[in-house]
Structure 1
Amino acid sequence: MVSKIGFGGSCHWCTEAIFLSLKGVVAVQQGWIASDGQNSTFSEAVIVEFDERAIAIQTLIAVHLYTHSCTINHSMRDKYRSAVYTFNERQAMAAQNVIDALQPEFKSAIITKVIPYKRFRLNSDSYLNYYYSNPDKPFCQNVVNPKLRVLLARFANVADAGKLSHL
């Protein structure tokens, strides 16, 4: 069964590359997500479509927490909101449970919010699949590659080694 969930926290180019590098991820849409409630403004994010039989939602959330600064509240948080955007109550409960369970593994409090998805704006075509279209660009080498190395080290069982063989 294919489901979808949203993630934001760092540059959407980074987040897109991370989730495109996982087994069980069917598609990643990169752009901006707005949510209900207090955070109704758009923030850089991705929508991840995944096969629940191949990768668990809990694993996706853990990958997200470990591949962006989920404990740092910096001046760019409006643009890079640390969030899990959920499409239903079951996802919201799963996300909060994972965050609570992983909190002891982090030195500081996790600031990632679990918030309902409301709207999405897709990025322009020239920026979609940015990392895999431009792996030699300095941004990809200096910013994305270190995050993908974390993915390989911590989540080797779900990382697509073929896609990441260049690291």
Structure 2
Amino acid sequence: MSELKIGFGGGCHWCTEAVFQALIGVTEVEQGWIASEGQFGSYSEAVMVTFDSESISLKTLIEIHLLTHASTSAHSLRGKYRSAVYYKDLEQKSAVEHAFSEAKVALKEKPITMILPMVEFKKNEEEFLNYYQSRPDAPFCQTYISPKLDMLRKRFSKELN
């Protein structure tokens, strides 16, 4: 098994957590906030995804990420919900850039998603972890998360648990 870890930010971390928890080959999803550097040094909602690269490709993970949040919209909440893929070192940056260039063709518009270095990750409080799994019938989950999971079932059925 070849385990790798990557960060994803875009929309609400509860939504992003549920999306990646549904995938075969993802062995852990940590929900919280990621800080990068420079103008992106503030924390933004994100998840850290540990995955088996022999079971699911980085390209597939990035494609799913781009399709399950507003990756083409520069809306006013981008400070809190930065659209990004976070890498840990230069070797991983190169792999992310390559996979991103292949994955973005799934979109109809140009993504605003950035590829950024991960400087720090801060895990969310225990009570908010596994948000969808612990309360799938909650109004927030039904309104925002369930439709994303429905799209995954239709488009990525081979990749789902």
| Structure-2 separation of matches of 1:2 and 1:55 | 10
Partner of 1:120: 121
Matched, 1:140 2:141: yes
| Structure-1 separation of matches of 2:76 and 2:37 | 22
Partner of 1:77: 78
| Structure-1 separation of matches of 2:69 and 2:51 | 20
| Unmatched tracts of structure 2, length 5 or more | none
| Unmatched tracts of structure 1, length 5 or more | 161-167
Contact kept, 8 Å, 1:58 with 1:94, in 2: the verdict is no
| Structure-2 separation of matches of 1:38 and 1:90 | 23
Letter in 2 for 1:75: S
What pairs with 1:39-78 in structure 2 (closer than 5 Å)? 39-78=40-79
Q: Secondary structure at the match of 1:62?
A: helix
What pairs with 1:1-167 in structure 2 (closer than 5 Å)? 1-160=2-161
Among all aligned residue pairs of Structure 1 and Structure 2, give the percentage whose two residues are the same amino acid.
Answer: 48
Aligned length, in residue pairs: 160
Shift of 1:52: 1.4
Q: Which runs of 4+ in 1 moved over 4 A?
A: none
Shift of 1:104: 4.1
Higher mean displacement: 95-104 or 2-11: 95-104
Shift of 1:154: 1.4
